[in-house]
A and B are shown apart, each in its own frame.
Chain A
Amino acid sequence: MSTTSRTREDIAKELTGIFHNVFDDDRIVLSDSMTAADIPEWDSLNHINLVVATEQHFEIKFKTSEVAKMANVGEFIEAIASKLQR
């Protein structure tokens, strides 16, 4: 949990770990366009688990509308990146 600036690749890598943990599946390979439709267990509840796990890992807190925008993996990474920049 370093506070130094991370690249987009760093964030994607760390996010992959979060996905593996939340879905209990190490085979998941993330891509920007990946949505809930691509992972059967990515339902409304696991979406929140992803958000909370991301918040805890990066020590950030998302607002309602930011969570609303995080519909695919690319948007997840964008949201994290814009939070870390502040």
Chain B
Amino acid sequence: MAPNSIVYLFGFLPVVLVVYLTLDRYGFDRIRLIALLIASCVYYSFSNPRLLLLLLFSIALNFLIGRKLTREAELSDIGSSGWLWIGVGGNLALLGYFKYANFLLTTLNQVFGTTYLIQAVLLPIGISFFTFMQLAYLVDAYNGQAARYSALEYILFVSFFPYVLSGPIVTHREVIPQFSKKRSAVTLWEDFGVGSALFFIGLFKKVILADGVSDYSTPVFNAVSHGMSLSFFESWFGALAYTAQLYFDFSGYTDMAIGAARLFGITLPTNFNSPFKASSIIEFWSRWHMTLTRFLTNYIYNPIVLQVVRSRSAARKAVIQKGVGTFGAFFAIVAYPTLLTMFISGLWHGAGWTFIAFGFLHGIYLAINHGWRMWRKTRGDATTEVSWVGRALGRFLTFVGVVVSFVFFRADSLSTACRLLKGMFLGHGISLAHSVSSHWPRIAQKLGDYHIVFEGFTYTPLVQTLFWITACYFLVWGCPNSQQWLGYFRPVLGSVKPAFPAECAWRPTISWAIVLGFIVTMALWGVIGIARPVGFLYFKF
């Protein structure tokens, strides 16, 4: 069930909330959690009941192994590595079969010219998300850092419907203790206010912004996929529109997830913090899909780098100290772990060469970024004080790099991506509107000398495209983000700096109620009036 579908908005969510609040009101503490669990199972099985069995099997496997590891760690500080590897292997086997078997087989067939076939495997929605959540739990249990949870708590933690399909990738430590929390009447109303505000902001982002701007990205990618070579402006319009679409689609989903969970008194971690305001690619990843970055950093990147640094220190080899190091140290401590982590990140997003390219590209970006910092440090530049020109340049470069990587993310094949990128970097010339040559023939003639043609914008009506792209990026760069806007009401876990100046932050006043009312009306109109197909981009992963 998609959270922007009519059945969810007008049936499932209100009914579950009323039942939950009633049980809460009359003190049925355990039953209210059971109700939430049943609701989550109904939600997950809505599109295909058989997939629920897979989810429950995965949960059972991890719960039993995790419990065993926790008990062992209580006795001897650490669990048995045998059980950890069985658990990790089991998770990766499930993920591998359902997500990567077809890709692997197709690739092998291409390499060896064979024609092996397996039945089309249906991708269980959310499998990448609940697999990562549980891998982290297993490692924590093994390290003696997981409490003993009841079966009810654990199953609900993994299957909780607001985030089961597409994250945020939450941790057991931050969510499970909240299940048993008692709420006062004041908190209950505050949760309701903040939760529904975030929910409708997210719905607005999805059905108005992301779906709206997709009209200007989809035709471009389709045309290029069919072999068209588009000129400079058309290519950029398509890539910029898609970048905005992906951001509003995914951060919209996230806002809806955080909002829906909050209605039930559960506060979730931040997942987006204005990523396009980042002035370096390192900073970008600390603002984009933050819970994925947190998982990758904590459970892949850190263990690798720790291992490398410890063993190099023990062998008295060069390490990076005070931001300065040798080339060998840079390769072993920075480039190799970064590339490997981002390669895994790319593959996590999807089984395909375009995603591998996406991950690899970001690995290279990050390595360059770290290398640049080291080089500046070696030269003795103060890296903390950067002028506004430097920051603006950094933000521009970061943004362009991200847009380029999203071309790979969106394109149906590497050749489509490369053809679009060639257009973006002037490989297919520049074309301007017909009217330029009819209105200003002399200017047109001059420009013609520079191989600029006047064949118009076939795939993107100019005025609408410019309107949508401008509107989207005004919101991206010129406005506070949703958690800053609600910053005075603890919208997410961790600290939030409320929007500045304080007048820009939400307060329960008449004028803000009108703004929010407008957002709610537009969002609902988007669902009922425009009524597009409901899928979110990240449901593929």
B383 interface residue, CB < 8 Å from A? yes
**Contact mask B299-340 → A, CB, 8 Å, 1/0?**
101110110011001000001111100000000011000000
B139 interface residue, CB < 8 Å from A? yes
Count residues of B near A (Cβ-Cβ below 8 Å): 35
Would you call B145 and A65 a contact (CB within 8 A)? Answer: yes
Alpha-carbon distance A69/B389, docked complex (angstroms): 36
B191 interface residue, CB < 8 Å from A? no
Enumerate A28-56 residues with CB–CB distance to B below 8 Å.
Answer: 33, 35-36, 40-41, 43-49, 51-52, 55-56
B274 interface residue, CB < 8 Å from A? no
Q: Is the interface of A mostly helix, strand, loop or mixed?
A: helix
Would you call B298 and A67 a contact (CB within 8 A)? Answer: yes
Alpha-carbon distance A24/B384, docked complex (angstroms): 11
Alpha-carbon distance A47/B297, docked complex (angstroms): 10
A22 interface residue, CB < 8 Å from B? yes
Would you call A44 and B301 a contact (CB within 8 A)? Answer: yes
B373 cross-chain contacts in A, Cβ below 8 A: 41, 43
B78 interface residue, CB < 8 Å from A? yes
Q: Is the interface of B mostly helix, strand, loop or mixed?
A: helix
Would you call B298 and A52 a contact (CB within 8 A)? Answer: no
Would you call B143 and A48 a contact (CB within 8 A)? Answer: no
A41 cross-chain contacts in B, Cβ below 8 A: 323, 373, 383-384
B370 interface residue, CB < 8 Å from A? yes
**Contact mask B264-295 → A, CB, 8 Å, 1/0?**
00000000000000000010001000000000
* B319, B322, B333, B373, most chain A CB atoms within 10 A: B322
**Contact mask B369-403 → A, CB, 8 Å, 1/0?**
01001000000000110000000000000000000
**Contact mask B404-443 → A, CB, 8 Å, 1/0?**
0000000000000000000000000000000000000000
A3 interface residue, CB < 8 Å from B? no
Alpha-carbon distance A43/B322, docked complex (angstroms): 12
With A43-B373, A48-B306 already in contact, 11 other A-B pairs whose C-beta atoms are closer than 8 Å: A41-B383, A41-B384, A44-B282, A44-B302, A45-B320, A49-B321, A51-B306, A52-B313, A64-B299, A67-B298, A67-B302
Instruction: List residues of B whose CB falls within 8 A of some A CB.
Output: 77-78, 136, 139-140, 142-145, 173, 282, 286, 297-299, 301-303, 305-306, 309-310, 313, 319-323, 333-334, 370, 373, 383-384, 495
Instruction: List residues of A whose CB falls within 8 A of some B CB.
Output: 21-25, 33, 35-36, 40-41, 43-49, 51-52, 55-56, 63-69, 86
List 9 A-B pairs, minimum CB-CB distance, nearest first.
A68-B298, A65-B143, A65-B145, A63-B143, A24-B322, A65-B140, A48-B305, A40-B384, A52-B309
